[in-house]
Structure 1
Amino acid sequence: MFLRLLPPLLVAATPVFAEVDLCPMTDDGANCVRILACIGEQGRWFHGRAFGRGEGTLAGVVNDGATCAGDWTSRNAFGTGQANVVCDDGMSATVIYFYQDEYIGTALGKGISNREEVVQSWSGMHVLEYFRDGNPSAEAVMKCGSFDIPIS
């Protein structure tokens, strides 16, 4: 958990994948959750999906158009896990994540890319609520460096 769409400054005005069914490829939507990530400090972001329970695969796109795929696994009983991703632009990253709530799969992660960029990720069924900062009527906004990325 991700489009050569718009330069980062214009992305701030465009919600990420608004009104898209994020998990159309599974019979059980509970086994598919959204992944969002910031890559570095220049407003680069990833949007994708993670499939499985306890372990699985992930896929998505970076806002500059790179497509990415990988795998993830829960590592131990302390609520940690690891995700590995490789993108078609040559970037790869490993992220260690920590569950907020293991049953619903909400997780926060941090890692580094092979380009030495910090990767910060968020995944789960309640990612929008996390970015709304406890206010259900607020707009969900992911901060990537000094860039605000609206999420819907």
Structure 2
Amino acid sequence: MKIGIGNDHSAVGMKNEIMEYLKELGYEVVNYGTDSNESCNYAAYGERVARAVAAKEVDLGVLICGTGVGISLAANKVKGIRAAVCSESCTARLVRQHNNANILAFGARIIGIETAKEIVKAWLDAEFEGGRHQERVDMIMAIEESRTDS
């Protein structure tokens, strides 16, 4: 499985550690993030990973910024993306099982590296349960289809 990872300037160190962790777990990792500590715009990296996931260049995505929120908001603007911000492993597991989240986001200023690893592992180990959850995901995607942009 191939994982795309993106980040802004606030998360370079955490991104590098998560990339190594993913490789240790046996995943192929594609770096779409910045490797610079110079201030940059998280939205560009959220969009970059989201477009790679939507185009099936990678199977799933991981996004990291200061809080995880801004970068996930940008990712969620891309059609077909369900990016979820998680600060603990229970939610990470549930967003895969119930929401079929294809991008995980978290904040380098919010959680430490060991918690980040636990979150990533829980999310990757979980599988979408389908059933009643599929109907709900379909409803979310229908909202996206009906959206009218001005």
Superposition TM-score, scaled by structure 2 size: 0.30
Which structure dedicates a bigger proportion of its chain to helix? 2
Which structure dedicates a bigger proportion of its chain to strand? 1
